[in-house]
Amino acid sequence: MSEDENVIPQANSMPPTQPQPIPQPQTIPVSPQLPIAETPQTIPVSPQLPIAETPQPIPQPIPQPIPQPALSDESEAMPMATAEAPVTGQTRMETAWGSSEGDEEYSEMASVGQTGAGEIFQQNYEPWRGELNPRWMRNWAILRHHVLGIIKKGHRPWGVPTKIFLVIVFFASLSDAGLTLLASLIGESEFHSMWGVNRDNLYGHVLGFFPRNVMYYPIVAALLVGGVISEDRLHGTSALYFSRPINRFDYVGMKYASVAIIQAIIIIFTLFLYYLTEIMAFGRGWAWIIDTFPIFLGALMGGVLLIITYTSIGLALSSVSKGKFFPGIGLLAIILGTKTLAIIVKNLFDREILYLLSPYDCLAHVGQALVSTQPTYDQYSWTWSLASLIAMNAIALYVLSSRVSSMEVTRE
Amino acid sequence: MALENLNLDIKKGATGLLGPNGAGKSTFLKTILGLIQATSGDGTVLGHDIRTEGAAIRSRIGYMPEYDALNPEMDAINQVRYSGELLGMNPVVALQRAHASLQYVGLGEQRYREIKSFSTGMKQATKLACAIIHDPELIIADEPSNGLDATAREFMITTLINTVKQGDRSVLMASHLMEDVERVCDDIVLLHKGKLAAQGRIKDLKAIDREIEIHVWGGASKLEAAMKHRGMRVRREGRVMRIAHESDDLTSDILRCASEVGAQIRRMHEYEASLEDLFLVIMENLGYEVKTSEDLLSHPINARKVDAPGHMGGGAA
């Protein structure tokens, strides 16, 4: 048997079959004719009506009640008649497609095209002939985007809890300035010695452990650094940066600067306000300012070191993550965890060496040296703490740079 | 994926970048954007050296990434404005252009909505708005119609066509959807394993595969034999046969053969290979050799090797 004879008919190539007899439509009994008056009522109009004559009122046709068709038994039975006929669906087909005769006028069957009612959206490509600004403007855009996002809509969307916490911490950081002002108002010298500007209070404003370095600054840093880089990885927005003329250094540098500036507003700006309040409220002269300014500068440098350290560690954690939770918790764990561990070791073994692993303690030790306040770390020099701080920052920046340089533009 | 001996010249207009996964498309795009340093060789994009002038290149290119590249918490207008500021646009100018760009991509009414409330099509449109905010000379669109429904896809394709034709911009479009590439682009570049597999005008490349398709009823084998006897190149799968369109009176010859052997031809029409067919053919048969459309046209018989499996009379293994 040849292949040709053995071909299985395809669905679309059915062999010709005998035409099926088309079922004749069942005659459906039509309802009886409405009884129409045989002689229609007409208005007699005479063409030869003389114009001058007073027009006769036109006799209005008396409305005849429309005779209702008397429903005979036959018409009532009509639906029943269709039920008796075989169900062919033909009536519906005729409704949809016209009669089965095929004699319809095409014009009757053609669907009416939709009338054009104007175009609401017209796509027009608008060229732009402007000049792009240089590198500093691009960097300023990144900085502005992050810093203004704290107070203004349309920039980086910081979370509402973050914004609220920043406001709370800002005012809480001004507590010493407020109490100094209060001391000047009530004129209580003992109250002033407790809260006014002095070596210990300037140190305490920046590097005091409780509450500032437990409840304020580490949490602020954790909230800020959490999503700064990790969310670019999460949402793929790194492509938005790197497909623009922005290099990795500018990207990470401006993000770093943004986070540092926001922390500086809370830590250093409030320190400056505290110092200014003392000068204004107590009318301090140049002699006092010259005396205390080195201490103020020492506290300020301590604050700068704190901001740099917390930002470096935090951004390094942010760069290895795709969410903001891990970097935030990680930063808090490093700052407070190492401190707790060092306290335990000191209490158990009377050894302070583990404080070198704690970023906060290293900052505090260096800060004490800068402000020249009473040191609380006796077993080693502050230079060890400074070296440890430098090492911590170097490691964090290395991680940060290597992670950012490996960020993809096409896929993250 | 490393690119090797890639030597190509992309003309103004729309060009499709095709290739299977791992062909080197992303590497190629990164190289164009000046983000990867070539270890050897050189190249210029819009007159700038890819090795030393990456920033200048990126200033003149609009890149629309395949994956999400938008902050879902931001509204569309500010996202597009920020993308303009990152190019160095003044904030006021960037805002004006953001409005114009979003209007162009059909998001004029939705521009103040947060991106997280957008559909995939709207996100794609927002990415396109980010890419065109500075009216770049070249737009790189990486899978622009991927994952879109029919309406959004149609709109995206129309927008890209308008950008090329009305805006007189160039588009380099990487896509797996051959139909979309075919609609937008005039030229294609085919990459395979980091090498250039083929490049040229789609029209030229498709011309090599013109065939007449017939559906036969009865006597198919006899008809096939008769046509082959007359020197026609026939591919057959069951009752469907495709005959290479090599002479002007091919249809008459086919009908004559059918008449001689008594076979019925139930259907006959010209079969034009789709870009997808072409892609598969080139990937299967020419992947390791550089072929321009001229090469393929000059040696159509060797180049094609399309075909049905060997047991059906085709040339492919």
CATH number reported for the structural domain that contains residue B19 in this entry = 3.40.50.300
B98 domain residue, yes or no: yes
Q: Are A298 and A200 in contact (CB under 8 A)?
A: no
Same domain as B263, residue B154? no
- Beta-carbon separation of B59 and A132 below 8 A: yes
- The residue ranges of DSSP E strands in B193-296, in sequence order, are 195-201, 211-217, 234-237, 240-244, 264-271, 291-292
> What is the DSSP code (8-state) at residue B115?
G
Tell me how many domains chain B contains.
2
Q: Is residue B4 part of a domain?
A: no
Q: What is the pLDDT of residues B42-92, one digit of tens each?
A: 888 899 988 889 899 999 999 999 888 999 999 999 999 999 999 999 999
Q: Which of residues 185-214 of B touch A (CB under 8 A)?
A: none
Domain CATH for B289: 3.30.70.260
- What was the ipTM of the complex prediction? 0.78
Select from B168, B193, B218 the last residue of a domain: B193
Question: For B223-259, what is each residue's pLDDT tens digit?
Answer: 999 999 998 988 888 888 888 888 888 899 999 999 9
Shared domain check, B227 and B90: no
**Is the domain of B30 the same as that of B179?**
yes
Single residue among B193, B222, B247 that ends a domain in this structure: B193
User: Mean pLDDT score of chain A, rounded to an integer?
Assistant: 80
Please report residues of A whose CB lies closer than 8 A to that of B35: 242, 409
Which of A147-151, B236-240, B300-304 has the largest mean confidence?
A147-151
B8: in domain: no
Q: Which residue of B has its CA nearest to A254?
A: B86
Same domain assignment for residues B165 and B271: no
Do B134 and B219 fall into the same domain? no
Q: Look at residues B183, B179, B163 and name the one whose alpha carbon lies nearest to residue B171.
A: B163
Of B89, B167, B239, the CB nearest to A127: B167
Residues in chain B within 8 Å Cβ distance of A242: 35
Chain A interface includes B116 (CB < 8 A): no
pLDDT at B104 over 80: yes
The rounded distance, in Å, linking the Cα atoms of A109 and A97 is 8
In a domain, B3, yes or no: no
What value does the mean pLDDT take over residues A34-52?
41
Nearest CA in chain B to A137: B88
Shared domain for B273 and B137, answered yes or no, is: no
Residues B25 and B132 in one domain: yes
Gap from A380 CA to chain B (nearest CA, Å): 48
- Residue B106 contacts A, CB cutoff 8 Å: yes
**How many residues does this entry show for chain B?**
317
Residue B46 lies in a domain: yes
Q: Does B224 touch chain A (CB under 8 A)?
A: no
The last residue of one of the domains, among B151, B169, B193, is B193
Are B110 and B135 members of one domain?
yes
* Model confidence pLDDT, tens digit, residues A213-225: 999 999 999 999 9
Query: Min CA distance, B303 vs chain A (Å)?
Result: 31
Which of A125, A237, A240 minimises the CB distance to B163?
Answer: A125
Contact by Cβ (8 Å): B132, B104: yes
Chain A residues with CB under 8 Å of B69 CB are 235-240
Locate the chain B residue with the closest alpha carbon to A135.
B88
Structure tokens at A63: 């409305």
Verify that B173 and B256 share a domain, yes or no.
no
Distance from CA of B304 to the nearest CA of A (A): 28
- How long is chain A? 412
- Contact indicator for A306, A207 with CB cutoff of 8 Å: yes
Same domain, B26 and B156: yes
Q: How far apart are CA A62 and CA A45, in angstroms?
A: 17
The tens digit of pLDDT for each residue in A242-284 reads 999 999 999 999 999 999 999 999 999 999 999 999 999 999 9
Q: Considering the domain boundaries, does residue B19 fall inside one?
A: yes
Domain that holds residue B217: 203-317
Is B62 among the domain residues? yes
| Residue B6 included in any domain | no
Shortest Cα distance from A323 to chain B (angstroms)? 13
